[in-house]
Structure 1
Amino acid sequence: MSIQEIERMNTDERLQTMEALWDALCHEKNQPESPAWHSEILASRKQKIASGSAKFFSLDEASAKLQK
């Protein structure tokens, strides 16, 4: 499928196509490995939580920060 074909789709068709792609990827037998930096970030976040230095935000607060 080309970009031009995707651009001709309406929003509902694009969303249905994305859902079909995600569903297909979720059922792949050979899942790609996460890169090493993923586990490094997770370990860092777990350490911050354990030490009490992690900051948590509500969904509204996070949304407001993203809109800035």
Structure 2
Amino acid sequence: MPFNLPLKDMTLQEKLAAMESIWEDLARTPDAIESPDWHQDILDERRRQVAEGRAHFIDWETAKTDIRKKLF
């Protein structure tokens, strides 16, 4: 079922709205989306790092602040 969006004619807001609509639809059936094996490998490695004390979690607000400091 191929279709074309008029991307060249769409505003940024229209493109973002289209992406959000697609994401919302995909999120309704998460089991239908198969993750590649390498995703699990990365998650396993990150769990090992946390368990070994080599990594830790920070809250999202702190992460955004840290990223902004590095960028600006």
TM-score grouping bracket, smaller chain normalisation: 0.7 to 0.9
Q: Which runs of 5+ in 1 are unaligned?
A: none
Q: Give the 3 Å change call, closer, same or farther, for CA 41–28 of structure 1 in structure 2.
A: same
RMSD: 2.4
Matched, 1:48 2:49: yes
Residue 62 (structure 1) aligned to one of 47, 67, 70: 67
Percent identity at matched positions? 31
Higher relative contact order (CA 8 A, sep 6+): 1
Q: Give the 3 Å change call, closer, same or farther, for CA 64–46 of structure 1 in structure 2.
A: same
Aligned residues: 65
Any runs of at least 4 consecutive aligned residues in structure 1 with deviations exceeding 4 A, and if so which?
Answer: none
> What TM-score results when the alignment is normalised by the length of structure 2?
0.69
Q: Which runs of 5+ in 2 are unaligned?
A: none
> What TM-score results when the alignment is normalised by the length of structure 1?
0.72
